[in-house]
Structure 1
Amino acid sequence: MRRYLVDYNESFVIDQNFDVAIIGAGIAGLYTALMLPKDLKIVILSKKDIEDCDSYLAQGGIAASIKNDNRELHVKDTINAGCYVNDLDAVNVLINESQEAIDSLVELGVDFDRDSLGNFYRSLEGNHSMPRILHVHGDSTGKGIMDILIKNVKEASNITVITDIFAMDVVDSEKIYKGITAYHNDKFFYFNTKFCVVASGGIGQLFSKTTNVDILTGDGIAMALRAGVNLDNMEYIQFHPTAFYSKDVKDKLFLISEAVRGEGAVLRNINEERFMGEYDNRMELAPRDIVARAIKDQMDKTKTDYVYLDVTMYDKNFLKRRFNTIYSECKSQGIEMNKDYIPVTPAAHYFMGGIKVDLYGRTNIENFYAVGECACTGVHGANRLASNSLMEALVFGKRAAVDISCRMKQKKYLDYEDMNKIGIKTLFNGFKTEHMKIDFSVLKENLKNFMEDTAGIVRSVDKLKKVLDYINNVLYEIENCNFSDIYSMEVYNMYQVSGAIVTSILDSKASIGSNYVEEYSERSLVRQI
């Protein structure tokens, strides 16, 4: 496997102005930066504008056990949704430290929705046994939190945000982190920092149907993979059951939050028949993997591309107040939620696997961390419990920051050395200007379609083996080419991560939760509660 995306020459910039590099500017990256000591110089590398991330789009809310809540019940719900393969230590950390995370957000300025008595308004979502989901501005929780984090980051004198920068590779010496290579404003950079936190988000754009923004192509996971960082649970990909169906949206589908079903919305097939009772006695509030498979089964049976979400039991005023963002989007598509059924389809939404980390976000490369969706803490098991993801980003982002602070005080990091002295001979090479014979746009479209068909909601061993052969052949073809631009590098990352996902599915030889493989399944579309 190719070690670096580009090869060494003299035309690069070495930047030694920062202590910590954070790759990604979503909730995980920004919050981690704010939790680090104020005397550390931090650089946040954002692939696009700081608002271009999935965190900004998060609607449903944030699951938290606060005050006198039964934390054991939250643990039980989490591992039940995760098919009991969760890391129990990580689950306990997540839930026991959720109060601290909410308090921290409030202190930063996040204004959570409250009821008439001034208490936090909390709603119910799928597989939660009690209302524990906090919201900001109804269904704009991600935006509400992100706006506050961005404000605090901009006011922090020790934090610099660089936008439109493409992080490429991890540089290490004897499995100790040394720095990050990146491309920005037609120049190659080497950020020689003492620590790095990857918070690059998920992998939704590997599929033809996704709710993820266009930057989520698995870049952080690919760079970790090339550096020999351990990955875990790569077979676990959550497909959200209810994305707004549209023929016209190519890059991203609009998400219809789990919270809509939490408030009582029901699913109907194209014949307007309610169907979830056939699959699970929790009906529309069953775990997402079950609901997504049920919808796919109905679409296959009725030979349609969507089913309906029915929320017509509520009046217009309630829907506008509770789901203002969703109401507005549906209206722009000609759907009146209080009168019309909403056409929905499952779409790739959240990655439970990724870079393997411990309870402090540490990887097997010293001083190299991962937090958020690109990291695999083991919290989610085989299927994420709704709205646990934002809390995971906060709790483990804080833990990574605490660990970095301790290591900084103990001076457990490498000082800068000349790159040749640490054996790095292949870092940079200016992009080749000659015409490339490989059409990377075609490769990208092919991959997204193949992954949707083979590594999607229902998987088949024979199809997976064929697509793995295809991926390996493409990787062999482009392995030694000189990339013409950032786009070609991005596609290369997509193929590397897709290969790791398909390999993990085949190696698992199991069918559980979001990894539903026909040949390994004893039951058709259901599982024990």
Structure 2
Amino acid sequence: MARVVVVGTGIAGLIAAYRASAEHDVVLVTKADLGESNTKYAQGGIAAALFPDDSAEAHAADTVRAGDGLCDPATVDVLCTEGPGRVRDLIALGVEFDRINGELERGHEAAHSARRVIHAGGDATGLAIETALVAAVRTLALEVHEHTFMRDLVIDDSGPDRRVSGIEVVDTAGVVRVIDADIVILASGGAGQLYTHTTNPLVATGDGTAAALRAGVVLADLEFYQFHPTALAVAGTPLISEAVRGEGAVLLDEHGRRFMFDVHPDGELAPRDVVARGIANAMAAQGGRPVLLDATALGRDYLEQRFPGIDRSCAAHGFDWATTPIPVTPAAHYWMGGIRTDAHGRTSLRGLFAVGEVACTGVHGANRLASNSLLESLAFAWRATDVLTDAWPQFASTATTLGAAAAGDVPVDRAQVQRLMWDLVGIERSAAGLRAAAAQLEEWTVVGDSVSDLETRNLLDLARLTVTAALCREESRGAHWRTDFPESSALFAQSFDCVVPASLRVKEEATL
């Protein structure tokens, strides 16, 4: 029996903890409440080939097409062939998906060739999954640490193989201690707080990815950050699910003209990166003002029944979307990059697994297909728990290795990092803007050792490496759009792996 520490309590972390507990001593760590994660806020649903008129092969083809030439075919095959079985496992764990006449109700989202997205509570799929899994985990005799922040990984260099031996955490009283582990599973989510405008909750500060970075673990594809096309253009940028467009809502400029068919033959149902750029360009043409999402043709009754959460959000901000188009803008949503893993969640560091958005399995390539994120978390967290005590394979890494900038000495706050990333490393990028961003980031440092300061340090570390990766990819592909290199290039049809040189790791550790 191994001691397994799971960091994070979204769908990936909860599934990993639940399944690992059957054979191992599990410790579950989360920096917020047990039920707080990105999963909780997922609206659209979960995609899987569950229906007779669909197939895993069709789902895989859609995933690869959206990924713009960078998906790993092997992990895509795992996702799409094993995904339906994992969704049925979710149902067995108590997730109640919406049904019509006893059959699963399914929706359509952009870049899918079939209606295969199932949902719960209309637009509360993530909440339904989180609630069911938290309830399942609470029935187990797990050691749970809420409001406990993971500061760094603990590494054992004493043996022939470098390996993880635990995590260093900070509790609510500011006390630093080590939780020992034979195995660590990072399920700590993404880093949406890198950007001023984001659909992500405040907890999404890239803690697991940054800790892995400082430990010398291989990361990959950090230049690929997906911007959701439609967030309500108000403070907090609440998400307006892609499923709304999938059911027939259309995008209009401020003159009432439907503009997306000028951009792509699929109009509003083009891949997310295309729609986000189309909206950004339309906004630029009208002085930066938001575009409009017109869902009025769907009718009040349907909107209230199918999208109750969005309906309440619109009403709370003074909008009646049943009668009037609502203002929307793109916002940072999902990181395709992360900790490089194999098809079982294993990383380049022995004993360390990564699952969910913190991981880069290669499934999403340069641009995630809508509603594949929950499925990826579920499928690969499940697979990870099947091999926790197996022999550790040789980790293959053949792509370009990137360095990272050293820390500077000018104090910075989080809002400054977010504004710089939004302005210069956002939907559209250029060499001049990226170099300016790199120079500024190199000058900055984070002062203080509160949990908030440590989160900001993580964001700053990840911002530096994201800029480096974006500079190296001199092409436009998927969610990475370079105005100075607007075409894709066969020279860049590969992932870029990223590590921090040992000299910088030593310097970083000395500041802790």
Name the stretch that deviates more: 165-174 or 206-215: 165-174
Instruction: Please list the CA deviations of residues 101-148 of structure 1 after superposition, one character each: whole Å capped at 9, or x if unmatched.
Output: 1111011111111112x1111110000011000111110000001000
> What is the CA-CA distance between 1:66 and the residue it aligns to?
2.0
User: Could you tell me which residue of structure 2 aligns to residue 176 of structure 1?
Assistant: 163
* Structure 1 residue 304: Cα displacement: 3.0
Give the alignment partner of residue 72 of structure 1, picking from 32, 38, 57. Answer: 57
**Residues 1:83 and 2:71 are matched in the alignment:** no
Corresponding residue SS for 2:342: coil
Secondary structure of 2:167's match? strand
In the alignment, is residue 114 of structure 1 matched against residue 79 of structure 2?
no
Identify which of structures 1 and 2 has the higher relative contact order when contacts are C-alpha pairs closer than 8 Å and 6+ apart.
1
Instruction: Report deviation, 1:160.
Output: 2.4
Q: Does the 8 A contact of 1:63 with 1:134 survive in 2?
A: yes
| Aligned counterparts of 1:54 and 1:491: Cα–Cα separation in 2 | 18
Of residues 470, 489, 496 in structure 1, which corresponds to 2:454? Answer: 489
> Cα distance, 1:52 vs. partner?
2.4
Contact 1:18–1:192, Cα closer than 8 Å, also in 2: no
Aligned equivalent of 1:500? 465
TM-score normalized by structure 1?
0.86
Partner residue in 2 for 1:472? 442
- 1:355-370 map, 5 Å: 355-370=339-354
1:166 and 2:135 aligned: no
How far apart, CA to CA, are the structure 1 residues paired with 2:486 and 2:300? 43
Please name the residue that 2:205 is paired with.
217
Q: Which residues in structure 2 correspond to 1:54-73 (within 5 Å)?
A: 54-68=38-52, 69-73=54-58
Q: Distance in 2 between matches of 1:517 and 1:293?
A: 11
| Deviation readout 1:27-63 (Å, 9 max, x if unpaired) | 1100111121424121111111123211101000000
Could you tell me which runs of 5 or more consecutive residues in structure 1 were left unpaired when the two chains were aligned.
1-16, 414-437, 524-529
What amino acid is aligned across from residue 419 of structure 2 in structure 1? Answer: N
Count of residues paired in the alignment: 467
Correspondence list, 1:290-329, <5 A:
290-329=274-313
* Residue number in structure 2 paired with 1:396: 380
CA distance in 2, matches of 1:393, 1:86: 16
Specify the alignment match of 2:321 in structure 1: 337
Aligned-partner Cα distance in 1 for 2:460–2:316: 35
Residue 101 of structure 1 is aligned with which of 83, 86, 93?
86
Whole-Å Cα distance in 1 between the matches of residues 335 and 475 of structure 2?
18
1:186 counterpart residue number = 174
- Once the two structures are TM-superposed, the CA of residue 18 in structure 1 deviates from its matched residue by 7.7
Shift of residue 154, structure 1, vs aligned partner: 0.6
- The answer (yes or no) to whether the contact 1:126–1:258 under 8 Å persists in 2 is yes
Letter in 2 for 1:87: D
Tell me which amino acid in the other structure corresponds to 1:255: L
List structure 1 segments (4+ residues) > 4 angstroms apart after TM superposition: none
SS in 1 for 2:204: coil
CA shift digits 1:440-462 (9 cap, x unpaired): 6x521111000001110010111
Among all aligned residue pairs of Structure 1 and Structure 2, give the percentage whose two residues are the same amino acid.
39
Structural mapping, 1:377-392, within 5 Å? 377-392=361-376
- 1:309 counterpart letter in structure 2: L
CA displacement, residues 364-421 of structure 1 (integer Å, 9 cap, x when unaligned): 11110000001000100110000000000000000111111x43xx7x89xxxxxxxx
| Displacement after TM superposition at 1:67 (Å) | 4.9
The offset of 1:163, in angstroms, is: 1.1
Q: Secondary structure at the match of 1:309?
A: strand
Find the counterpart in structure 2 of residue 123 from structure 1. Answer: 107
Matched-pair contact (CA < 8 Å) for 2:475–2:487: no
Q: TM-score, normalised by structure 2?
A: 0.89
> Which amino acid letter does the alignment assign opposite residue 230 of structure 2?
T
The equivalent of 1:425 in structure 2 is none
Structure 1 partner of 2:215: 227
Summarize the alignment of residues 213-292 of structure 1 with structure 2, pairs less than 5 Å apart: 213-246=201-234, 249=235, 252-292=236-276
CA shift for structure 1 position 187? 1.6
**Alignment partners' CA distance in 1, 2:283 and 2:129:** 36
Q: Any conservation in 1 of the 2:290–2:327 contact (CA below 8 Å)?
A: yes
Counterpart Cα distance in 2 of 1:143 and 1:312? 26
Counterpart Cα distance in 1 of 2:25 and 2:166 = 15
Paired amino acid for 1:168: R
Mapped partners of 1:345, 1:183: distance in 2: 36
Unaligned 5+ segments in structure 2 are 394-408, 489-512
> What's the offset of the Cα at 1:484?
3.4
